[in-house]
Structure 1
Amino acid sequence: MGRYDSPAALAALVQPHQVHRDIYTDQEVFQQEMKHLFANAWVFVGHESQTPNKGDYFSTHIGTQPVIQVRHSTGDIHVLLNRCPHKGTKIVIDRQGNTGKFFRCPYHAWSFKTDGCLLAIPLKKGYQNTGLEETDSGKGMRSVGDVKNYRGFIFARLAEEGISFEEFFGESLSSLDNMVDRSPAGRLEVVGPPLRYMHHCNWKMLVENQTDTCHPMVAHESSAGTAVKLYEELDLPEGAPKPPAMEIIAPFMSPYEFFEGMGIRTWPNGHGHTGVNHSIHSDYSVIPGYFEALCESYGEEKAKAILDENRHNTVYFPNIMIKGPIQQLRVFIPIAADRTVVESYIYRLVDAPDELTARTAMYNRMINAPTSIVGHDDLEMYERAQEGLM
């Protein structure tokens, strides 16, 4: 029996005033998180625009469980475990593609419809009287316990039974609503592949940092601080518009009072957002024609209400953060107690000016790329903390 097999042992790791470092470093704790937390929570899988056509698939993970998001022949999106029920072989290894009308296992050629149902088995007579038809394996690829398409965002729960989607997220869905409503058409589309790289730290460090407003002016001083200093030395005429890159980078060096004044809102089950009052995106330049497009779709009053929301980072526990004002989403994929893959996606607001997408892409490159100005500051802090806790 392991050290952390009992609920009491796990509960003892968390005290009112502190948590034990094993929360971040112990592989057994990590396995318990995968077994109980990621399996029972509603976890983000992907976006419907990643699988627009019948047979399109996208492979990812729920916790450490490989899964496939696939568009079935009916047009519905299914989420299947990425393994053959025969020997457990992964069905697909490509990140995404189109499988046609069925999946075919590369090991023994068992084939399955795109909803997971068994289609054919070579030498099927050889399985007669073996009991295969009475087993789950004889029915096909296993689906996750439940799937929800919320305004284009695909979430899944591995467990067959458990908390409903609506109860798990509750009022926190208002952040996703605002992000989608920023499109005059009320639709988003993923733009290109994500920026993807490994972080040698525990997944919870990344989640926690998304609502940490005490670090930007410190951790990013050498990058954002230097950029601001050099820009100020240009001695530009008063009132000269800031270049888009400076609009993005300069707010990172705002004082404690600015970040403290943002405010934070929390909801049950670990969800929450900074930027109740303002955010680093509040003073971005107006894109010509955008407000007019929103007014045409929603009316002036609702258009103003949509844009008045400048939420900074919204965390949907346990695995994503979204930035509504710049249409960005980051996924945290746990690999081990000390390893996490981070993927940063950007979205296009359908029927909005292309300049918005260009600004979002610039933000993603400057802040979240492996060679970005800001992201590597955070990466170093995560890894220093992980090493210090070992």
Structure 2
Amino acid sequence: MKNKNNKFIANIFFLILLTAIVFAIVFKNEDKKNLISLLISVNKNYVLCGIVLALISILGEAFNIRRLLRIFNYDYSIFQTVKYAFVGFFFSGITPSATGGQPMQVYEMRKDGIEISHSSLVLLIDLLSYQLVSFFFGLFALTWFKSLIFQTSKGVFYLIIIGLTINLIGIIFILLSIFNPKMSTAISKVLYFIIDKLPLIRDIKKSKFKTSIATQIKEYNICSKYIVQNKLSLLKTFLTTTVQMFSLFSVSYIVYLALGGTEHSILDLVFLQSLIYTASSYIPLPGGIGASETSFLLLFKNIYPRGFIHIAMLLTRGICFYLLLLISLVVILSYSFLKYKKLLTSNNLYSKL
């Protein structure tokens, strides 16, 4: 537990340090007084609207998790599944390439009595939905702005192409993992091979690992049949994810309105924001820090007049990532406190009896 806490704290400090370095570079030549003045003059009602849209994106994932868990007869309230959504966002945000989100969600679900095979499949379907929707957003956006992006920055253009390619490979792999038993068998053989080669682990331990993997894969294949039988739930999940991502990407348009913009449509801003996500999501840094900020400054420079682009980036990125990260931390700590308080109360009642 101590090692986990130390790693958790180290990740947060690394994120803060990285953010400080990126912002120091980005705002190095900017007039700080002008930035503060612009920040004060921003329409606060639009900013509040942007925060609501960002929170709707979290709520969308909570509804997806709740709906998919019901397939396996887990009847959890939205209050409980929203915790899993915030846990996923927070740990994805503080770990490179968002690798920490799903393992922590599985861990939290296991503590609440949800089988690992069930939670893994639920999160895999949720991930598949997210990957599919983001891929189509990115593809449409690239078609919409292809010539503009190539003229603006060839580097960002190639990052977007790489991002779409990685996304597509991920989608194919997930589909095969869920719906192709042969793929599951192949994965298990690879895992068995790795386990056999592990040093300093006794054979009895290796055997237990293999048995555990075999059991999980067997349950995994059984669970995938339940998913196939619930096509309506899958469709609802994809629709919810579409609303979820459109809501998050719309924050850029709300910030545009907050700064007095009127020339461009909501689709222009949403598609540009989706391209930033496509270009930075696979970058092996927490929250795509650095890549997201740089991509924004390059892609949005024709949207905002000179002197407004940096404050627009600060507000958009601040709402979509940094503020959501802070809210997620507060929610996680609040849940932990309530759970600890409940446990303490029950222990006191038990001692009185």
Fold similarity call, TM over 0.5: no
Higher strand share: 1
Q: How does the TM-score come out when normalised to structure 2?
A: 0.26
- Highest RCO, 1 vs 2 (Cα 8 Å, sep ≥ 6): 2
Q: How does the TM-score come out when normalised to structure 1?
A: 0.24
Higher helix share: 2
